[in-house]
Amino acid sequence: MIQLIRTEIAKLGGSLALLFALVVPALTSCLALLTIVVNERQSSWEMILGGFTLPLWVLFIFPMATATFATLCAQIEYRAKAWDHLLALPYPRWQLFAAKAIVVQGALMLMTVLLFVYTYGLISLAGWIIGEMPSGNPQVARIADSSVRFLAAGLLLTVIQLWVALRFANFVIPLAVGIAGTLVGLAVTMVGTEDADWFPWVLTLRASGEDWMQPVLIGLTGGIIAIGLMLLDLSRRAPR
């Protein structure tokens, strides 16, 4: 399994997936920088990180990034027409797909870490240049806690996106699923209803709030079950 994971990581180096994973958090950090540039009042770390960067990431950028990254990882095999070769390797099929799932989940965690590293570094540099640092403290512990919770709740979302991306050769299908799910999440947030709290794209939003236990449990439990079903399905029917 370790060798398979290393191979999947090596594949990312020659694809757009790695570049995507590095650039998207940086672009989000630039949006955070823009908020303090246009804000006439002194900004605070709490507003920049907890009030803008994290909500933007959880609400819109993370689900879209998940859909895109999972699609890019699946297309590595589809574009090279490498499924026959990959599935002929002397490994159980479920391990091949499990390695991809581990790499995708690890990459999304890394992207979330990079988001706050980039944001803190960029805002600090800008504050040093203009001579006015944001007030307060970055509240690293609270941000890290919120990030762990929403990533755990987002496991189900991630598995669904990877499953669809691996199952269908047409890259439009997983992207459409990601867009549709994200739009539903946005609609639920704007309407303020609690009737859709079970929806995978809503779980990450709820996990960032005070009542986070239920969405985290649903996301983790559903994600583990979905992983099992995905491995069973893909092992029986090779992607085409």
pLDDT in tens, 135-190: 777 778 888 888 889 899 999 999 999 999 998 888 899 999 999 988 888 887 77
Q: What is the mean pLDDT of the chain?
A: 84
Q: Which of 57, 64, 56, 28 is nearest to 179 (CA)?
A: 64
Residue 240's pLDDT band (cuts 50, 70, 90): low
Task: Please provide the DSSP assignment of 15-38 as one string.
Answer: SHHHHHHHHHHHHHHHHHHHHHHH
φ, ψ of residue 49 in degrees (nearest 5): -85, -50
Q: Is the pTM of this model over 0.95?
A: no
Residue 111's pLDDT band (cuts 50, 70, 90): very high
pLDDT at 132 over 80: no
pLDDT at 226 over 90: yes
Residue 54's pLDDT band (cuts 50, 70, 90): confident
Count of the separate structural domains present in the chain = 1
CA 39 to each of CA 17, 47, 134, 158: distance values in angstroms, whole numbers, following the listed order: 34, 11, 12, 35
- Tell me the C-alpha distance between 54 and 51, whole Å: 7
Q: Which of 104, 95, 102, 94 is nearest to 74 (CA)?
A: 104
Q: What is the pLDDT of residue 156?
A: 93
Question: Which tokens is 156 given?
Answer: 């189900």
> Which region, left, alpha or beta, applies to residue 139 given φ > 0 means left and ψ of -120 to 50 means alpha?
left
Q: Residue range 75-99: average pLDDT?
A: 80
Domain that includes residue 89, residue range: 2-236
Q: What is the pLDDT of residue 171?
A: 86
| Count of other CB atoms within 10 angstroms of residue 98 | 20
Cβ atoms 161, 70 nearer than 8 A: yes
DSSP class of residue 63 equals H
Instruction: Give residue for tokens 């790695």.
Output: 18
Report which residue type is found at 50. G
DSSP class of residue 197 equals T
- Tell me the C-alpha distance between 231 and 95, whole Å: 8
